[in-house]
């Protein structure tokens, strides 16, 4: 089905030796929500040219192409990249819960820079690691650490007004307006500072920790900076090895506002926790730190940026959130459904399977396209619309099994099942609490449209597309007190 439908569309690009130019194609940028015409088969079904996946058009306007795939090729075989795309919500959910059939992400896809993380593990070994550290990132254990989160957010906002202007605010005293770029002023630094604090990274190592984070995130995916990412990972492991040995005998603690110790930091907890007589090795703890840094850092940065970008373009919804702070949780979940910075998760299938008439050989690379599931019309009404008032999205407590509660479905940004993102809970708290503190600091905030990238019409703000926006320029009134 998927193979047969696309053979004619891509046959000319498979012989690279004879026709390399055919492998290159420039796709025009279309209005958001409209797909490029890539032709039709003999039955009038629109074709998918796999070269679209490498185009700028797909990066800025992916959803009409995912809709074609959901409607006509729910399992799409991409011959150009030799992989399969699963795009419907129900199919992806079933795959995530089938830990035997789709057991892990592909081996080696994270271990290069992040180390031997639990992302690549399954079964007993995955559950062992997850059970040891997972309890420190949820429930009351996480609640105890929220004070550190609030304090860091307040400190970053106070820095806006320092005399040396470290956050590079643009001040117009005559108009009483301040302009800042939210990433530089807050979102880039806030998540990684929180992660360093709750993990228990000493203050004198925070600057190095930030460099390790930046280098590792830049080095993922076999990029030109991969070597630097590997060096950063090794530096982190060398540092953590000494830190772990120290904390095994002398744990350190987080303190409340009065300086009273409230709980161990997470590294101290990990060093001194046992399950079935086992403790985590130094290498395991280092890999866990690298994983939390990725999930709690870059993912949360994107969540904060995307959330404010969407809310400020929907003033009625922003005003509702201002009137009722409980709606920040709802807005967070709707943002992740509408524009998550997490595209999906790759898998290898253990055995040959047949799905929607497509034979998938064992060991194939399969992309579970979470962003497509989030826009599946079979689950969400008017999925292209950002609407915090929708009645078909579950936005309660994040649960590994909670993909369908109260007659509503959750978004797929964190996945579901055994491999639900371990940083989901802390990312949620960072984004919501950080945004609440930002909202209190802003007066009459709005997007500075002149400084923002524009869409193809040269007037409208650029869509988020896949991933997250890199800059968000905001204007707000200078506080008078």
CA distance 3 to 73: 9
C-alpha–C-alpha distance, residues 16 and 22, integer Å: 8
Q: What is the mean pLDDT of the segment spanning 270-278? A: 72
pLDDT category at 157 given cuts 50, 70, 90 is very high
Domains identified in the chain, total number: 1
- Residue 107 falls within a domain, yes or no? yes
B/e letters for 382-409, b = 16+ CB within 10 Å, e = fewer, are ebeebbbebeebbbeebebebbeeeebb
User: How many whole angstroms from its chain centre is CA 206?
Assistant: 23
pLDDT at 469 over 90: yes
Residue 419 has pLDDT above 70, yes or no: no
State residue 106's pLDDT score. 54
Identify the band that residue 201 occupies on the pLDDT scale cut at 50, 70 and 90.
confident
- Residue 67 inside a domain? The answer is no
289 C-beta neighbours (distance < 10 Å), count: 31
More reliable by pLDDT, 419 or 83: 83
| 323-335 confidence digits (pLDDT tens) | 999 999 999 999 9
pLDDT tens, residue by residue, 18-62: 444 455 688 999 999 999 999 999 999 999 999 999 999 999 999
Q: For residue 331, what are the domain limits?
A: 82-477
When comparing pLDDT for 237 and 447, which is higher? Answer: 447
What is the C-alpha separation between 471 and 454, in angstroms, rounded?
A: 12
Please state whether the predicted TM-score (pTM) of the whole model is above 0.85: yes
3-state secondary structure of 213: helix
Q: How confident is the model at residue 111 (pLDDT cuts 50, 70, 90)?
A: very low
pLDDT at position 75 is: 98
Q: Indicate if the pLDDT at residue 130 is higher than 70.
A: no
| Residue 308 resides in a domain | yes
Domain-located, residue 36: no
Coil vs helix vs strand at 474: strand
Confidence band (pLDDT; 50, 70, 90) for 388?
very high
Residue 307, judged by CB atoms within 10 A of its CB (0-12, 13-18, 19+), counts as: buried
The residue among 7 and 333 whose pLDDT is bigger is 333
**CATH number for 451:** 1.10.630.10
Structure tokens at 311: 């809310």
pLDDT tens sequence across 207-219: 777 777 777 666 5
Q: What is the pLDDT of residue 2?
A: 44
Q: Give the pLDDT of residue 9.
A: 45
Q: Which two tokens stand for residue 465?
A: 């597309």
- Within-domain flag for 316: yes
**Does a structural domain hold residue 202?**
yes
Task: Label residue 414 exposed, middle or buried (CB < 10 Å: 0-12, 13-18, 19+).
Answer: buried
Instruction: Say if residue 151 is exposed, middle or buried (CB neighbours under 10 Å; 0-12, 13-18, 19+).
Output: middle
Query: What is the band of 456 on the pLDDT scale with cuts at 50, 70, 90?
Result: very high
Closest CA to 414 of 132, 149, 69, 93: 93
Would 76 be classed as within a structural domain? no
Whether 140 is covered by a domain: the verdict is yes
d(Cα 35, Cα 58) in Å, to the nearest integer?
Answer: 9
* Six-digit token string for 363: 């060991």
All residues at 6 or more sequence positions from 335 whose CB lies less than 8 Å from its CB, including other chains = 303, 306, 307, 310, 311, 386
Task: HSE, CB side, 13 Å, CA atoms: give it for residue 64.
Answer: 17
Phi, psi (deg, nearest 5) at residue 181? -100, 115
Most confident of 200-204, 317-321, 419-423, 426-430: 317-321
138 pLDDT band (50/70/90 cuts)?
Answer: low
Nearest one of 432, 426, 396 to 311, comparing CA atoms: 432
* CA–CA distance, 141 with 135 (Å, rounded to integer): 7
DSSP of 406-453, one letter per residue? TTEE--STT--GGG--TTHHHHHHHHHHHHHHHHHH-SS-EE-GGGS-
Two structure tokens written together for 42: 């003999």
Residues above pLDDT 70, as percent of the chain: 78
Question: Three-state SS for 431?
Answer: helix
SS3 (DSSP) at 324: coil
């Amino acid at each position: 089905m998927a193979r047969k439908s696309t053979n004619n569309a891509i046959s000319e690009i498979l012989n690279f030796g004879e026709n390399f130019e055919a492998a290159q194609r420039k796709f025009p940028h279309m209005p958001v929500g409209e797909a490029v015409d890539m032709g039709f088969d003999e039955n009038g079904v629109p074709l998918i040219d796999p070269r679209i996946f490498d185009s700028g058009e797909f990066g800025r306007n992916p959803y009409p192409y995912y809709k074609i795939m959901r409607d006509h090729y729910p399992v799409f075989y991409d011959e150009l990249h030799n992989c399969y795309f699963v795009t419907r919500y129900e199919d992806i959910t079933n795959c995530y819960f089938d830990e035997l059939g789709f057991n892990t992400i592909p081996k080696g896809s994270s271990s290069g820079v992040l180390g031997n993380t639990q992302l690549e593990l399954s079964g007993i070994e995955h559950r062992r690691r997850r059970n040891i550290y997972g309890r420190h990132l949820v429930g009351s254990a996480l609640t105890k650490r929220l004070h550190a989160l609030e304090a860091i957010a307040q400190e970053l906002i106070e820095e806006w007004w320092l005399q040396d202007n470290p956050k590079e605010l643009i001040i117009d005293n005559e108009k009483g307006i301040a302009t800042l770029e939210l990433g530089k002023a807050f979102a880039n630094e806030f998540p990684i500072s929180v992660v360093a604090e709750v993990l228990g990274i000493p203050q004198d190592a925070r600057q190095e920790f930030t460099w390790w984070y930046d280098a590792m995130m830049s080095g993922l995916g076999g990029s030109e900076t991969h070597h630097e990412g590997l060096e950063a990972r090794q530096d982190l492991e060398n540092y953590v090895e000494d830190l772990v040995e120290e904390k095994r005998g002398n744990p350190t603690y987080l303190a409340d506002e009065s300086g009273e110790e409230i709980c161990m930091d997470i590294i101290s907890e990990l060093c001194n926790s046992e399950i079935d007589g086992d403790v985590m090795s130094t290498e395991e703890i280092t890999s866990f730190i690298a994983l939390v840094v990725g999930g709690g850092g870059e993912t949360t940065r994107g969540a904060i940026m995307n959330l404010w970008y969407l809310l400020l373009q929907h003033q009625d919804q922003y005003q509702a959130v201002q009137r009722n702070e409980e709606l920040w949780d709802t807005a967070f979940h709707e943002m992740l459904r509408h524009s998550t910075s997490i595209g999906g998760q790759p898998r290898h299938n253990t055995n040959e399977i047949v799905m929607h008439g497509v034979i998938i050989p064992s060991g194939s690379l399969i992309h579970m396209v979470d962003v497509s599931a989030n826009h599946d019309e079979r689950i969400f009404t008017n999925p292209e619309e950002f609407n915090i008032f929708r009645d078909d999205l579950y936005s309660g407590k994040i649960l590994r099994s909670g993909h369908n509660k109260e007659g509503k479905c959750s978004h797929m940004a964190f996945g579901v099942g055994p491999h639900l993102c371990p940083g989901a809970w802390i990312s949620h708290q960072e984004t919501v609490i950080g945004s609440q503190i930002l909202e209190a600091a802003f007066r009459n905030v709005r997007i500075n449209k002149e400084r923002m990238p524009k869409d193809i019409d040269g007037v409208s703000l650029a869509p988020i597309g896949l991933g997250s926006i890199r800059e968000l320029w905001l204007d707000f009134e200078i506080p008078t007190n």
